[in-house]
Structure 1
Amino acid sequence: MGFERAAWPRIVPFALYMGFIALADLLGWAAAAPRWLYGVKVGVVLLALLYWWRRYDELRVPLPGARALLEALAVGLVVLVLWVNLDAGWMVIGQSAGFDPTADGAIQWPLVLMRIAGAALVVPVMEELFWRSFVMRWLAAPKFLEVHPARVGLRGFVITALLFGVEHNLWFAGVVAGVAYGWLYMRSGNLWSPVVAHAVTNGALGVWITCTGNWSYW
């Protein structure tokens, strides 16, 4: 199956994000990347999203109703709880260098706010456009924009959840999150539902990390 033109605005922001991660690994920055690199990464992704915003018809729609938003909020919090507990040895791929925003024992709050804002406001939009709106529907049909989320089918749902999982160091928690966000998308038919849930997970995770000092989860 090839990619139609509409795929690229959903692929490129994700590719840019992953490219920064690959560059850091290539330069040996996995454990000691410059602290400003994350801000540059999400900034570049944000610019790409804004450039193509008019092409994202799935986001240029009203937010789901109050009940659906509460459901997304609940799913996001459940995923958070599972994320910080599904960390047995076999559930983890490699080691995460994390993101430590401290210096001389003190938290550098601009770095914390940058990280939480990027993770809660930019990353969910970028990833949900790629994984749920594009990949999950493209696996059902090359003309993915014509595929209603409810008609994705088991194949697209499972493969996308698995791929979303292995994108993360905590791969099993990632699969669980992929199942939850995919289910929300298929249930609501509105991409804002998994975006909101994803944002809640990432934002609340950032608060939890900051309060507990578990920087490796970043």
Structure 2
Amino acid sequence: MPFWIQHRLTIALVAPLAAFFLIGSVFENFFPYQISGRESEPGINAMRYLALVAARVAGMGAIIAAFSPIYIQSFPLRAGRELEPAFESSPTHWPDYWGVITGVIGAAIWISVCHLQIETTVLSWVGLAGDALGQRDAANPFLLYREPEMLGGFLFVRFALLVVAVPIAEELFLRGFLMRAVDSQDWQSMPLTKIGSSGLMAGTVYGVAAHPNEAVAAAIWFSLVTVMMVKTGKFWNCVLAHSITNLILGVYVCQTENWHLW
């Protein structure tokens, strides 16, 4: 059996997030841009930065669209169709109010905890610099793109990445693949409500590893969404919560100019 056929579900679940990092690596090595300081000081290549964000949206979007039949088959959006045996107890993964509530609460927690700067404090205790865990780009688009058309274009693709592409890609990888694969060799047929302790812990560990400079907020947020996942058993609730948190965070960043948060 061809590799693609044998591992098509794994490829479908991993590919969107892999594209995010692959595109970032290509730009870093072949089309680098520089961002210095919180206020996007002169020296950044604004067009390359815009191209990076747009390329990620386009690449991830194309992959998600191509594999969408597999996603819908694995996590159905409606009942009344022939489902895999693993999903008989949860005939639909259509999101509900728990996704909204979790997303709003998660945003409040993320923003509040990040402002405490716990990671920076701990690093100072052990004699390390505050940026030892890395920093986000912290680019201020209102200084970077002076023309309204360029600013509008950047904000459009930045929010598309933040609110649509990243939540779908990250949740597909994390809850569709990683948490189930860690817990069972027969993970393809495992309902989200049946994931064991090792898989649940893997979700939090991934969150911390992917957001080291926001480790405490990430640990709380990813654990919160996992609790909601176990309660509802609905994959698309996790995507909805992720999208709402990121939308609130993006609006908050633009309003308060806390650019280091996105």
TM-score per shorter chain, which class?
Answer: 0.7 to 0.9
Q: Show the counterpart of 2:261.
A: 217
- After TM superposition, give the deviation of residue 85 of structure 1 in Å: 2.1
Partner of 2:119: 90
Cα distance 1:105–1:153, how it changes in 2: closer, same or farther (>3 A)?
Answer: same
Shift of residue 202, structure 1, vs aligned partner: 0.7
Please list, as runs of the form range in 1=range in 2, the aligned pairs for 1:30-179 lying within 5 A after superposition: 31=35, 32=44, 34-56=49-71, 57-62=73-78, 69-87=96-114, 88-90=117-119, 93-103=133-143, 108-168=151-211, 169-179=213-223
Question: Take 2:201 and 2:176, find their aligned partners in 1: how far apart are those partners?
Answer: 14
CA distance in 2, matches of 1:112, 1:209: 12
3-state secondary structure, aligned to 2:139: coil
Change (3 A) 1:166 1:195: same
**Equivalent of 2:21 in 13, 18, 21:** 18
- The offset of 1:78, in angstroms, is 1.3
Question: How much has 1:208 moved relative to structure 2?
Answer: 0.8
Q: Is the 8 A contact 1:140 1:147 kept in 2?
A: no
Structure 2 portions without partners, runs of 5+: 1-5, 36-43, 79-91, 121-130
Label 1:22 to 1:35 Cα distance change in 2 as closer, same or farther (>3 A): same
Q: CA deviation at 1:157?
A: 0.5
Quick one: distance in 2 between partners of 1:215 and 1:165?
A: 20
Q: Residue by residue, what CA displacement relative to the aligned partner does 1:11-65 show, whole Å, maximum 9, x if unpaired? A: 1111111122333444553634522211111210010011111111234323657
Report the residue type matching 2:223 in the other structure: V
Segments of 5+ residues of structure 1 without an aligned counterpart are none
Alpha-carbon separation, structure 2, partners of 1:85 and 1:30: 29
Q: Do the aligned partners of 1:4 and 1:142 also contact (CA within 8 Å) in 2?
A: no
CA contact (8 A) 1:4 1:143 kept: no
Flag the 1:58–1:185 CA change in 2: closer, same or farther, 3 A: farther
The aligned amino acid for 2:70 is: R
Verify: 1:180 aligned to 2:224, yes or no: yes
Report if the CA contact (8 A) 1:58-1:190 is conserved. no
Whether the 8 Å contact between 2:168 and 2:239 is mirrored in structure 1 is yes
Does the Cα contact within 8 Å between 1:20 and 1:41 map onto a contact in 2? yes
TM-score (norm 1): 0.87
1:89, 1:30 → 2: CA distance? 27
Instruction: Report if the CA contact (8 A) 2:103-2:241 is conserved.
Output: yes
Structure showing greater radius of gyration is: 2
Counterpart-to-counterpart distance in 2, 1:9 and 1:73:
26
